[in-house]
Amino acid sequence: MSLEDKEAQEDELLALASIYDEDEFKRAQSVQGGEIRISVELPENFTVFLRGNQAENPPNNFECTVCFLPPIVLNFEFPADYPSTSPPAFTLNSKWLSQAQLIALYKHLDTIWEEKRGSVVLFAWIQFLKEQTLVYLNITSPYEPNICGQEKGQSRTSEEEVCSDAVAGATAQEESLDTRAMQDVESLSNLIREILDFDHAQQEKCFNGKMHTCNICFSEKLGSECMYFLDCRHVYCKACLKEYFEIQIKDGQVHCLNCPEPECHCVATPGQVKELVEEQLFARYDRLLLQSSLDLMSDVVYCPRPCCQTPVMQDPCCSMGICSNCSHTFCTVCKMAYHGISTCKMSAEKLLEVRDQYITADQATKRFLEKHYGKRVIEKAVEELRSNQWVKGNSRSCPSCRAPIQKIDGCHKMLCAACNKPFCWFCMHIITTADPYMHFNDPASPCYNKLR
């Protein structure tokens, strides 16, 4: 190795290490070489479409808009006479580019070397892969990758047609490049996961490295000190959100962890809550969230024992519930000890509750209530209610004993049949027994001359 080649190689490796961070460039330990992970620049609203098994109805297709795709991995090693004579030995790997596309890129990197023979070439390769890959391969949105090893019967994409100009004229000689241009993905499901995970990680990295204004305290803070709601992208500093979450959870408002922006209904994820609040408070949040979800499930009841309260799934065929925690067997309707086919016993308060529910229920609910509480018991309670309502609407209470009295005819001088006290129907005051008509004949009386 000439001194000039050695110095050129070392300078190029040092330059790469200074430009790219450890996630993008790793220098090899035993040889003059390394690995470069190149993120291709994507236009706005770039969509990836992955076609699933067309035998399913509907087909299991997947489509998403991404800002980043998993990197193209360039592994390289410098021969002793690089850059004066020979190019770097290299391989290309990608999860979302087919082998045919990678071969086309591989051939173009060789062309770039021929144009720059005698000079270092890695930076030119990186710039081409980063900025020109989509244009060179004629890739547009929506982009449908070709997954190698698709099962027979699954739809193949038109990937080779898309980049036909770049890979036209492939020969047996190009097949020798196969091991140096490989699509590094096992299946469609793996590719989906790889794309989503990498896009999320890169967006987090970009967010953490920029300054943002908190919409609560209006201070400028680095993204690593902030958090944003996933749907609306409104940004707040972690200190403000931590206080906001803690207040809501302590008040039991676990469904109110919305974005603080007025009229914004985006909700924080459990992972975001866990990141900000203390472990004990998150346990309360998790418990209340689970309980509120169970409360919305019509087939879930709670063990009636005050010391247990474990959720129990109702058996649709009978009203027996067995607690998995304390083994207590109970009726899921009245919450008392299980009583077989006997009707449920009710307290006075429960009877009123069932009666009111029965009055407004549909026929199916009425049959259910009659079955469990007894038809005659419920009908009697309804009759008593209606009787009391009629009495209340058509009678008045005696001012002496409060007995209900109905006036059908006659004058306003009334005599209670229960306590035998005379009273005025007009003003509902008790009048003297000795001369009850004085109340209507006395000019000073408010009911003067109002006997009828």
pLDDT in tens, 160-190: 443 444 444 444 445 444 567 777 777 777 8
Q: Could you give the CA distance from residue 305 to residue 290 in angstroms, rounded to a whole number?
A: 19
Which ranges in the chain are annotated with CATH 3.30.40.10? 211-295
Mean of all residue pLDDT scores within the chain: 84
For the chain, give me the number of helices (H) and strands (E)? 13, 19
Instruction: Look up residue 187 and give its amino acid.
Output: S
Residue 393 phi, psi (nearest 5): -85, -15
pLDDT at 153: 35
Would the pLDDT of 41 be above 60? yes
Would the pLDDT of 295 be above 50? yes
Over the stretch 355-373, which tens digit does the pLDDT of each residue have?
888 888 888 888 877 777 7
- Residue among 175, 265, 202, 286 nearest 23 (CA): 202
What mean pLDDT comes out for the span 102-114? 94
What mean pLDDT comes out for the span 237-266? 88
Catalytic, 411? Answer: yes
Which ranges in the chain are annotated with CATH 2.20.25? 299-342
Task: Kindly indicate the confidence band of residue 84, based on its pLDDT and cuts at 50, 70 and 90.
Answer: very high
pLDDT at 162: 39
Task: Kindly indicate the confidence band of residue 155, based on its pLDDT and cuts at 50, 70 and 90.
Answer: very low
Class level of CATH domain 3-201: alpha beta
Q: CATH number of the domain at 299-342, please?
A: 2.20.25
Task: Kindly indicate the confidence band of residue 291, based on its pLDDT and cuts at 50, 70 and 90.
Answer: confident
Which ranges in the chain are annotated with CATH 3.10.110.10? 3-201
What mean pLDDT comes out for the span 99-110? 92
Q: How far is CA 320 from the centre of its chain?
A: 34
User: 394 vs 199, which has greater pLDDT?
Assistant: 199
The CATH number corresponding to 211-295 among 3.40.50.2000, 3.40.50.300, 3.20.20.70, 3.30.40.10 equals 3.30.40.10
Looking at the chain, the whole-number percentage of residues with pLDDT higher than 70 is 89
Catalytic residue, candidates 411, 419, 427, 447: 411
Sorted by sequence, the CB contacts under 8 Å of residue 202 that are 6+ apart come out as 39, 67, 68
